[in-house]
Every structure is written in structure tokens, then in C-alpha cells.
Structure 1
């Protein structure tokens, strides 16, 4: 899914008019008539942007609809890289439901926690490989990165491994400890660990 942006719209009925051919291109589950695109089945409308072309509009049955991260959804993601301004992640789950496709997300420095935002240091909050519980704020820039936050107490790192390779144990809201070496590392720790994430 790299470089693409998929938006799932409202449910649609058979023969609903979806858009003009000036605004989008037909995909699967639709047909053309007099310059407009219509639904050829009842289901969900998918609008997919590829590069600078017009978005492709398709309709899929409810059982085939891809679950997408919506604003306000709690997602589980894996940190892929960090820099002083933000952490990059791949979104793996919406709630407890795994995603079929890969979606990218960004946790900006100012969205890491609710207080003392100006004192947040990204490398003291996340490390590559960490599993993080976050909330979707919005669909961000043209690279289709979702903007995420871990500002609530229940959000943050839920699984992290030490340099020794052991799964670390939270010891406070900002530290985790390796059970093998007892070394401590800074993290923005989630207060609640969902059952489906526990090893």
C-alpha cells in the first residue's frame, strides 16, 4: 500500500450514483452511465488515490470491506524509525482486528503526552521495534500517514525489548526494565495493557 491512500466511504445501495467521471475513475463493483459512476452492488465505497491521477472508486461487499483506521480509533502499531520531531510507525491492528494492508502513521513530538509537551524527547518515548497503542487524530499529509497520539495515560508503549533481547517490564509511566540485566530504559508507557497484546 506504499504511496496510496484508501478511504472507505459510507455504505451504498445497488445503482446509487457515486460520482462524476470528471472527479474519479471506475474500479470494481461499479458501472458507467452518462458520465457518472454508479454502484453495481450493495456494499462499501472505496476511494483510492494513486499518485496524481484521479481517485479510483470501487464498491466491495461488506464481507470484503477492508477495516480502516478512522479518526478516534485505537490502533496498535510498530515503531519503524524515530527522529527528534516524530516517530514513524506501521499500523497493525484497529482495536483487536488485524489489518490486511499496511498503513503508515506518525506520532509527532507534541502528541506523545498531554503535559510538558515542550520537554518531550522522542528517543526517550519510543524505540524502533516497540509496539505502541495509539489513537488516530487525523489522516495527515499526501504520503497518507495517519497522525496518531499517545497523550492519554492508557496509550503508549505496551511491548518493548531490551538490548539483551528480553521483553521489558514497565516500572513507571516513563521507564521499563530488562528482567535479565535490570537495565532501565525510558519509554512513554501505556497504563493499561490490552489482553490481546500480552505475550
Structure 2
């Protein structure tokens, strides 16, 4: 084996033996309670679909799909939450895994803590927005305000 993932060698019985050599480094999987960084792909009135990119500060080799349901966006006034006032496609969000996914379903995620929510959002002008409250971000160029579920970012979750 010379670093080739698929090798064939001939045994004493002259039958070829095929072996698959896996990458020694195991794939990190999001676990329940883990804080993950994800990117919003799509939204509708009931949930936001996201791709999980990091577990803690560790980048994932492959992305996992996640869902943030309307009722898991905020801890209070859950009945008043509107998905489009919390997230937009392209937003980068800190969330916590509340249930594991499987082959048929996505990971269920929550942003129902002050430290969780949108950490990076771009305005219509393509400029990175600045948080001005727990529920609004503003474009520094056009001064347009947009609703978001803004994360109160803890220093240990900031990527350098």
C-alpha cells in the first residue's frame, strides 16, 4: 500500500484481494448539544434549511443538512416568531444541535439562546451587516435595517 486507497494484490491462491484503505482521520459528526456554524440555504413559513459547516471551531469535511423549526428559533414568544424575520438565505448562523439526523431527515437545530442566531448577514447591497439589536441588523452603506435573530456572540465562537 503506497497511499493508494484501492490496492489489489495476488494471494497464494492467485485470487486478487481488493482492500479499501479509509482516511485515518475519522469524520467529526455533530452531536446533541454541540454548537454548530451553518449557512442558511432556504426558508419558508415553518422552518429554515441550513448546511452545517463547523462543529465548534472544527470545519467539517462534508456538509450535513439541518433544519431550524419556527418553534426553535427563540426561547420566548414562540408563537410570534416569523422565519423570514429571523433568517435569510446566505446568513451564517450559530445553532445548537437538539436532535440527530439520519439518512432520511436532517439534524434539528435550535437558536433559542441569546448566544445563538445570525452572526454574519449581507445586505441587498452585498455589504456585511452590523447588529444593532437582538432582532435587527443594519447595512453600514445604505443604512437599511433588516430583521434577524441576532446572536450575542461569545468570544470562543468567533473564527479568526
TM-score interval, smaller chain? 0.7 to 0.9
Q: Distance in 2 between matches of 1:126 and 1:91?
A: 15
Structure 1 runs (4+) deviating above 6 angstroms are none
- Of 185-194 and 135-144, more deviation after overlay is shown by 135-144
Q: Which runs of 5+ in 1 are unaligned?
A: 1-59
Secondary structure at the counterpart of residue 67 of structure 1: coil
Partner of 1:30: none
Partner of 2:59: 98
Report the RMSD for the aligned CA atoms in angstroms: 1.8
> Given the alignment, which residue of 142, 148, 154 partners 1:181?
142
Q: Distance in 1 between matches of 2:105 and 2:146?
A: 31
C-alpha displacement of 1:140: 4.2
Q: Distance in 2 between matches of 1:64 and 1:142?
A: 22
Higher strand share: 1
TM-score, length of structure 1 as denominator length: 0.66
Aligned pair count reads 139
C-alpha displacement of 1:144: 3.2
Partner of 1:196: 159
- 1:43-192 matches, within 5 Å, as 63-140=24-101, 143-192=104-153
- Flag the structure with more relative contact order, 1 or 2, with Cα contacts below 8 A and sequence separation at least 6: 2
